[in-house]
Amino acid sequence: MKLAVITNYDLHAMGGAEEYIDRLAMRWHQTGHQVTVFCRKPAPVPPTAPRPWQPEYPIQWIDRPWSTRFGLGKYVRLLKKFHQSSPIDLLLACDSYWPGFVAEQFHRKSHVPYVLCSQGSDIMDGSRFLKRTTTRKRIISALTHASGIACISSYMKARTEQLTTPQGVVRLIPNGWPDEWTSQTAVTPLISQPYLLCLGRMIESKGFQVVLDAYQKALPHTARWGLVLAGQGDYYSELVQRAIASGISVQQGNTWQQMPPPWIWFPSLITGTQKQSIVQHAEVGIIPSLRYEPQGIVTMEMLASSVPVIGSNIGGIPDIVHHEKNGWLFTPGSVKELSETLVKIASNSSIIPHVRENCFKSVKNYRWSMVADQYLAFFEEIWQQKKLFK
């Protein structure tokens, strides 16, 4: 197929949406499909968390819109011009606003089917886009008239159907984990002691502070574990200060220094084999989101590494974290529940090995290559429908 992808993301940045787009486009390109990604030009100042990105597929650079209300027509014209010279079979829009709105306008002019996939920020509970009358109407219209909608979790499916009754096919297709991260290819441990891991963007709504408080509250039961808090973001400095104030030994920087537990390590940004090692060798992963999490890629990566996950019972997390099977769920923001869970699993040496057995099995069908192939099957279904009703 001749596929195009349109996104407002800068694919140099480190994030789940960027990973999603790159992994899918790479797989489609490698399996012989023609793929062109329309994405934002690199920022003059590189992102604070750049990732290794060397795309083999063609890129069409686009400027950031001068206005997301009035300045989107140029992207419709760009797609139309591209389509005239290199016809597109199907367009994937990553997020309903603004890429989905542009895809809908392009579809009206070209009749090229489009599929939407929201990574969350546009339609999740509390979305700033839905609070504005114009953008809300555009989001609802884009969702309503899409040929297909790929939902990364049952939560995102429910949110879509709360907003509108889609005319197209709605399909649940979760995000994935790296094919190279198999249980047979574990990399060398960077940390020689058992530890808990919390990894993600350090903003207040991600709940890192809940992990800090619960870890401290659970001592001395959890004293054999260190705690790794990895990531960057506006909340980083405050988290470090809170950790120092706890009286627990704290270190920062990308190289872990040997020290007796309990300790807290802030390695900041981790990528590549360093990230793989830190994830794969954790005793337990923690996903403590306070907000409705669409469906975290980090959760997939932990489970794929046979690492049990303690996750907030909110958004898309319960889709993949099943209580007392491949992890545990707790009420978002509850330091008490999280600390009690830590004490429980620290006090019974058989719990983690028992739960660990189910982790990989629970996500084995969600390698990125498999997810990309699910999308291709979805696209083919939509394309066949278009031909049927022509």
Q: Write out the chain's pLDDT in tens, 390 residues.
A: 999 999 999 888 878 889 999 999 999 999 999 999 999 988 776 656 566 778 899 999 999 888 888 899 999 999 999 999 999 999 999 999 999 999 999 999 999 999 999 987 899 988 999 999 999 999 999 999 999 999 999 999 999 999 999 999 999 999 999 998 875 566 888 998 999 999 998 999 999 999 999 999 999 898 899 999 999 889 999 999 999 999 999 999 988 888 999 999 999 888 888 899 999 999 999 999 998 888 889 999 999 999 999 999 999 999 999 999 999 999 999 999 999 999 999 999 899 999 999 999 999 999 999 999 999 999 999 988 765 544
User: Rounded to whole angstroms, how far apart are CA atoms 143 and 164?
Assistant: 7
Supply 381's token pair: 């279904």
Report the predicted TM-score, pTM, of the whole model to 2 decimal places.
0.92
Cis bond before residue 98 (omega within 30° of 0): yes
Task: Establish how many alpha carbons lie within 13 A of residue 379's alpha carbon, considering only the half-sphere containing its beta carbon.
Answer: 25
- Mutual orientation of helices 154-163 and 133-145 as an angle, nearest 10°? 110
Classify residue 340 by burial, with Cβ atoms within 10 Å: 0-12, 13-18, 19+: middle
Task: Establish how many alpha carbons lie within 13 A of residue 334's alpha carbon, considering only the half-sphere containing its beta carbon.
Answer: 15
Tokens 């999603």 sit on residue = 20
User: Rounded to whole angstroms, how far apart are CA atoms 349 and 354?
Assistant: 9
